[in-house]
Amino acid sequence: MIFTAFFKALGQLGDRRFRRVVLLGVLLALALLFGTYALFLQLIWWLSPDQINLPVIGPVTGMHTLLGWTSVLFMIGLSVFLMIPVASAFTGIFLEDVADAVEDRHYPQLPPATPLSLGEGLRQSVNFLGLVVAVNLGALFLYPFLGPGIPILFWAMNGFLLGREYFSLVALRRLPPAEVKAMRRRNRWTLWAAGTLMAAPLTVPILNLMIPVLGVATFTHIYHQLARDGR
């Protein structure tokens, strides 16, 4: 089910509405990343001297330049963590466009969904963003003890959160909150696995820019397959 939904979503990337949303999502992600990088670079310039004195060697200049280039590598790594909140913000803003495109193409027999208002979508995304930040900050204390197991914890933890968020927002377009909660509980392992499938590519720079739109589309398919099967 999960891979069928994912490949259906992948096959629709050429859709005109998908291309528009992908472009907007990429611009949103890049704006956030470059904005964060600019603030970080400015902070380096404020807090670090351009010249330091080393024993034996004496004064060494050009520290701003060195730290600036080093910060590029740091930001590439940081983008992995920033893409999780970007994905959550993306969901609240572009959910309807992506879900409607999927349903118009694959489920045209369905009645129109009840769209979440922009305010409700943003409220859900802000709440989810706070949860993601809190959980990932807490996980930082575990990472030093995990060694090569760090990616596994990161993917599993954020996969659980992303699966819960994506499914809930998609399902709320067609079900009341109580039914969404019950459906989510019945299918928690499927949703966790699907969320992990979305979380893993979010750790790959460049590729991660495409994942938010694929995530919404994939979970739209998953919701309809679960609903069709009475799960």
Mean of all residue pLDDT scores within the chain: 78
Q: Is residue 224 part of a domain?
A: yes
Cβ-count burial of 227 within 10 angstroms (0-12 exposed, 13-18 middle, 19+ buried)? Answer: middle
Q: Is residue 154 part of a domain?
A: yes
Q: How far apart are CA 39 and CA 37, in angstroms?
A: 5
Q: Is residue 153 part of a domain?
A: yes
Spatial CB neighbours of 18, under 8 Å, sequence gap ≥ 6: 12, 98, 101, 213, 217
Q: Is residue 49 part of a domain?
A: no
Residue scoring higher pLDDT (162 or 87): 162
pLDDT single digits (tens) 17-56 = 878 877 877 777 777 777 777 777 777 666 655 555 555 5
pTM: 0.77
Q: Is residue 217 part of a domain?
A: yes
Q: Is the pLDDT of residue 223 over 70?
A: yes
Q: Is residue 32 part of a domain?
A: no
Domain count, the chain: 1
Write down the residue that tokens 């490949």 correspond to: 7
Q: How far apart are CA 117 and CA 44, in angstroms?
A: 40
Q: Which domain holds residue 202?
A: 2-17+82-106+116-228
